[in-house]
Structure formats: C-alpha cells, structure tokens
Amino acid sequence: MYDKAEKYYEAALELLAENYEQDASLGMYFDRNFDFTEGNKPGPDIESVPRAKTSRSIYNEYVQHSKAGDRTITPTLAEASKADIKAGIVERALVEMATTYAALENTLAAVKTAKMAEDLANAAKMKRQQQVRSKLSGTREL
C-alpha cells in the first residue's frame, strides 16, 4: 500500500516540478518552500509533499493544528490569507486572458492586413489581365 502511495506522490511531484519550472510564482500557493534541485527535492511521502495553503491536511505547514483539531494560521508563514490566494489566482487568470486577448487582436490585425494585401494584389492582377486583353483585342481600356 505504501509503495502505491509513493508512486502517486512521485507522479504529483513530477507534475508540480514541470509546472513550477514554467511558473515559479506557483510556490506562493503552497504551504512550504521547495525546489527541485538535486538533494533538495521534497520526498514522495505524506509529510514532505507540498500542499496548497488552503489544504486541511494535518501535515499542512501553513496551518498549525491543536490536539482539539482547531486550525490557526502560523504567524511566520501568514503572507496571504485564503481570500488573498483566491484573489491572486483570479488576478493571474485575468492577466492571462488580457494577454491572450491582445495576442488574438494582433493576430486578427495581421490576418486583416494580409487579406487586404491579397485583395489588392488580386485587383492589380485582374486590372493587368484586362489591359493585356484589351491590347490583344485592339481596344484601349480607360
């Protein structure tokens, strides 16, 4: 049973490492500082795996648990409340959406410009073909 759990923890840590490599700011949402350099990797076990700050796990280092089951935020780790974390997630999503929207606008403008250039090129080609036809037929196009 422990071997199976360890495999799942290893898979979760690999996924976290990939995402953390792409965006190191993800670390602010977890209960402990971590890095994935050799010798500093979190262990694939129940106590070592980083958890979301909002996790209710008894192994959450962001929250202190009393024997009565009460939860209190650890003062030294209380950089952000649950509401702050959620607001940060929404803010990041909005920034990403705005960036995506701007990129789409730029792409659309480029497509419109390319379409206009193609239309102008086709119109010039058609005009040139008409001029050639008119010369061949002996009439002159105005």
Kindly tell me the burial class for residue 93, based on how many C-beta atoms sit within 10 Å of its own C-beta (0-12, 13-18, 19 or more). Answer: exposed
Q: Are residues 11 and 73 in the same domain?
A: yes
- CA 19 to chain CA centroid, nearest Å: 9
Q: Which domain holds residue 3?
A: 1-78
Which distant-in-sequence residues (6+ apart) come within 8 Å of 77 by Cβ?
31, 61, 62
Last residue of a domain, one of 37, 62, 78: 78
Structurally, the chain folds into a number of domains equal to 2
pLDDT averaged per 10 residues, the chain (length 142): 84 87 81 77 82 77 58 49 75 86 89 89 91 80 52
Q: Are residues 99 and 139 in the same domain?
A: yes
Q: Are residues 85 and 43 in the same domain?
A: no
Q: Are residues 71 and 94 in the same domain?
A: no
- Report the alpha-carbon distance of residue 95 to residue 135 in Å, rounded: 60
Q: Are residues 60 and 88 in the same domain?
A: no
Q: Are residues 2 and 61 in the same domain?
A: yes
Q: Does the global pTM surpass 0.75?
A: no
- Report the alpha-carbon distance of residue 119 to residue 94 in Å, rounded: 37
Predicted local distance difference test score (pLDDT) of residue 88: 74
Predicted local distance difference test score (pLDDT) of residue 139: 58
Predicted local distance difference test score (pLDDT) of residue 79: 57
- Report the alpha-carbon distance of residue 1 to residue 13 in Å, rounded: 19
Predicted local distance difference test score (pLDDT) of residue 75: 42
